[in-house]
């Protein structure tokens, strides 16, 4: 997650005085965050981004995400006394559902939601969902204390004495929090259903680029401080993508199969810690190693000769099979 500092309050919003009374972070300048609003000019998009009615629909969407994707949420519908999973994964974010939820906004927000007004703000539902992703994954929406804890973990990973323990602790905390965070669950759900929706796919891609950029900075600092280098043929992008993909997979597994043990809350450990160490060991080598080896060469060196040859050697045969 990006450690972007909290932005300053929105400025130049005299046309929307009610904006100043909205709770944080809805009182901030949202124009850099909302990129799919239904306006052609930059000035028009900025005004619409900071319209209290835009904030009202975002707040309604965020609440629906928490209700339907948060831990312990009631996501099942009853059919003849039985429960089934709702087939429309994002049906709860339909324009009608979002507009209706506006009525439940806190008093500081507009409380009259209308589908036609929602369509005035965003031309299509994909545009709205894309901006909801941008807003939900905006760093100021992360849990309280995230930025401070991230700074502590970074320092320990770069210069701390017990690197392995720090990797395990950081991986557990990041994975466990991701599994509990509705916005993370939203991004994972969208990845499963966004095929063919270019608008949502671009929003997800942009989110990942921003998310991974700060992690790549951390990985580069660790590599330098720990006197390591990437194996030939591998890049920092490869390492970041591998760790990110593994994290997503373990979060999904922990949500869908809580008994799998990929998250051990009693020990504050996770399979992600083990995977992280394995990837570090596989992707990196000492910077002062005299011989560079690709990952494939390193695996071949570890595995050795083919099984048949090794069996023959154990039986006393020579390299050519002769005794």
pLDDT at 180 > cutoff 80: yes
pLDDT at 308 > cutoff 60: no
For 232, other C-beta atoms within 10 Å of its C-beta total 12
Q: How far apart are CA 250 and CA 204, in angstroms?
A: 19
Rounded to two decimals, what is the model's pTM? 0.81
Please answer whether residues 112 and 103 qualify as being in contact, where contact means their C-beta atoms are separated by less than 8 angstroms: yes
Residue range 84-99: mean pLDDT, rounded: 75
CA 321 to chain centre: 54
Question: Residues with Cβ < 8 Å from 13, sequence gap 6 or more?
Answer: 19, 20, 29, 50
Please answer whether residues 294 and 233 qualify as being in contact, where contact means their C-beta atoms are separated by less than 8 angstroms: yes
pLDDT of res. 7: 47
Question: Residues with Cβ < 8 Å from 222, sequence gap 6 or more?
Answer: 157, 158, 228
pLDDT of res. 277: 98
For 228, other C-beta atoms within 10 Å of its C-beta total 18
**Angle at the Cα of 265 from the Cα atoms of 262 and 271, rounded to 5 degrees:** 25
**Top-confidence residue, 11 or 101:** 101
Q: Which stretch of 52-61, 63-72, 117-126 has the lowest confidence by average pLDDT?
A: 63-72
Question: Residues with Cβ < 8 Å from 155, sequence gap 6 or more?
Answer: none
Query: Pairing mode, if any, of strands 76-79 and 82-85?
Result: antiparallel
DSSP, collapsed to helix, strand or coil, labels residue 144 as: coil
The tens digit of pLDDT for each residue in 33-63 reads 999 999 989 999 999 999 999 999 999 999 9
Please answer whether residues 26 and 141 qualify as being in contact, where contact means their C-beta atoms are separated by less than 8 angstroms: no
Distances (CA, A) of 88 to 61, 67, 225, 311: 16, 15, 48, 55
Question: Residues with Cβ < 8 Å from 143, sequence gap 6 or more?
Answer: 177, 181
Q: How far apart are CA 306 and CA 286, in angstroms?
A: 27
pLDDT of res. 145: 74
**Top-confidence residue, 139 or 159:** 159
188 pLDDT tier (thresholds 50, 70, 90)? very high
78 pLDDT tier (thresholds 50, 70, 90)? very low
Quote the mean pLDDT of the chain: 85
306 pLDDT tier (thresholds 50, 70, 90)? low
The tens digit of pLDDT for each residue in 204-249 reads 999 899 889 989 999 999 999 999 999 999 999 999 999 999 999 9
């Amino acid at each position: 997650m990006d450690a972007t500092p909290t932005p300053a309050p929105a400025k130049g919003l005299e046309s929307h005085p009610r904006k100043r009374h909205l709770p944080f972070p809805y009182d901030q300048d949202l124009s850099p965050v909302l990129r799919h609003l239904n306006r052609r000019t930059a000035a028009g998009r900025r005004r619409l981004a900071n319209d209290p009615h835009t904030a009202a629909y975002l707040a309604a969407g965020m609440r629906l995400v928490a209700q339907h994707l948060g831990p312990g949420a009631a996501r099942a519908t009853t059919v003849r006394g039985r429960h089934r999973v709702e087939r429309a994964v994002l049906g709860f974010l339909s324009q009608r559902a979002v507009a209706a939820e506006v009525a439940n906004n806190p008093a500081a927000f507009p409380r009259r939601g209308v589908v036609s007004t929602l369509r005035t703000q965003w031309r299509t539902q994909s545009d709205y969902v894309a901006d909801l992703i941008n807003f939900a994954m905006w760093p100021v929406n992360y849990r309280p204390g995230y930025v401070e804890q991230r700074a502590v973990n970074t320092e320990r990973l770069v210069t701390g004495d017990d690197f392995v323990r720090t990797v395990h602790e950081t991986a557990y905390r990041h994975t466990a929090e991701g599994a509990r965070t509705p916005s993370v669950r939203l991004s994972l759900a969208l990845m499963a259903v966004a095929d063919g929706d270019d608008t949502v796919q671009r929003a997800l891609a942009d989110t990942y680029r921003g998310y991974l950029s700060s992690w790549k900075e951390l990985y580069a600092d660790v590599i330098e401080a720990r006197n390591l280098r990437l194996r030939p043929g591998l890049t920092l992008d490869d390492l970041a993508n591998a760790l990110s993909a593994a994290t997503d997979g373990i979060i999904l597994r922990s949500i869908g199969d809580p008994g799998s043990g990929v998250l051990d809350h009693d020990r504050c450990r996770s399979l992600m810690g083990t995977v992280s160490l394995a990837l570090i060991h596989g992707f990196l080598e000492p910077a002062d190693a005299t011989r560079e080896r690709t990952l494939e060469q390193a695996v071949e060196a570890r595995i050795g000769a083919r099984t048949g040859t090794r069996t023959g050697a154990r039986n006393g045969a020579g390299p050519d099979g002769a005794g």
